[in-house]
Amino acid sequence: MSALVLRTVAETTAWVDSLRRSGRRLALVPTMGYLHEGHQSLIREGRRRADVVAASIFVNPTQFGPNEDLSRYPRDFEGDLAKCTSAGAEAVFAPAPEEMYPPGFQTHVEVGKVSQGLCGARRPGHFQGVATVVTKLLGLFKPQVALFGEKDYQQLQVIRALVRDLNLGVEIVGMPTVREPDGLALSSRNAYLSTEERRRALALSRGMAAAQALYERGTRDTASLVDAARRELAAVDLREDYVEVVDATSLTSLSSVTPGQPARILVAAFAGKTRLIDNQPIGG
């Protein structure tokens, strides 16, 4: 049987209330749709951690900048519904933008430091949009657990800060990035890539692997590690947005990688018009 489709806040509130009365544990998986195996891995893990999983499919306009891809973001609601159902979601919340942002809407959630560098610096307003919509979804569903991918690593840290700072009382689970066999991180935006861009896009994962290989040969200073990743991007003419090595929790820049201090390399680059991001742990 197909997952139940919830379109409005009122319907969702009624569904959540009945679930709570029955004492069942709820997991929430927020998405923007055009689902792939990465999203499905979150839903499956939700099933392991809760009795019931709800997924949301909402291309959130407030997290897109004026010159970004909101209007052409890929959509396939029927396909998404089938994928949610097969991964084990019981309900899919797919509201219209006016349902989430009705006239008179005037509250925004701004997370501090952790949202300011990296994608936050390149996409002004992006994390305010993310934090606001995630706060709304958590308020609406009141899940015991919510699952997010490490693919969007800064987003995951922003949400962890938000939930902690506002005492939202939900467990946040970060899940590993699901990749194609050749290393490309799955992303809805991969649908934009031409065959040739798809091949060049591999430089993101290859660049991070090169940085890690250099670390394993004894290099500790982040400038050299970042350079190793940059060379892979440059070799295939990918335009870098940023390459940084940061503390894995605070996301502050590191000048060197110290064994025992978890660090992460984060990369953003353009393949043609398509902006891709990826990240992985670095060090050991």
Binding site for ligand AMP (CB under 6 A): 31-32, 38-39, 41-42, 148-149, 151-152, 175, 177-178, 185-188
Q: Which is nearer to ligand AMP, 147 or 243 (CB)?
A: 147
Report whether 275 belongs to an annotated binding site. Answer: no
CB of 29 to ligand AMP, least distance (A): 7
What are the start-end ranges of the E strands in the chain?
A: 4-6, 26-31, 52-57, 91-93, 145-149, 171-175, 239-247, 263-271, 274-282
Q: Which is nearer to ligand AMP, 28 or 243 (CB)?
A: 28
Tokens 């951690």 sit at which residue?
49
CB of 24 to ligand AMP, least distance (A): 23
The residues, ordered by sequence, that sit 6+ positions from 199 with a Cβ below 8 Å of its Cβ are: 236
Report whether 104 belongs to an annotated binding site. Answer: no
Tokens 């290859």 sit at which residue?
206
- Going by C-alpha positions, the residue among 110, 81, 77, 78 that lies closest to residue 96 is 77
Q: Which residue out of 3, 16, 27, 39 is catalytically annotated?
A: 39
DSSP code of residue 103: T
CA–CA separation, 16 vs 26, rounded Å? Answer: 9
CB of 258 to ligand AMP, least distance (A): 27
Q: Which is nearer to ligand AMP, 90 or 152 (CB)?
A: 152
Q: Which is nearer to ligand AMP, 132 or 177 (CB)?
A: 177
CB of 156 to ligand AMP, least distance (A): 7
C-alpha dist (Å) from residue 202 to 99, 181, 190, 195, 209? 38, 11, 11, 12, 11
Report whether 100 belongs to an annotated binding site. Answer: no
Dihedral in degrees, nearest 10, Cα atoms 186, 192, 197, 201:
-30
Q: Is 108 a catalytic residue?
A: no
Report whether 183 belongs to an annotated binding site. Answer: no
Report whether 71 belongs to an annotated binding site. Answer: no
Residues forming the annotated binding site for ATP?
32-39, 149-152, 178, 186-189
Catalytic residues: 39
Residues forming the annotated binding site for (R)-pantoate?
63, 155
Residues forming the annotated binding site for beta-alanine?
63
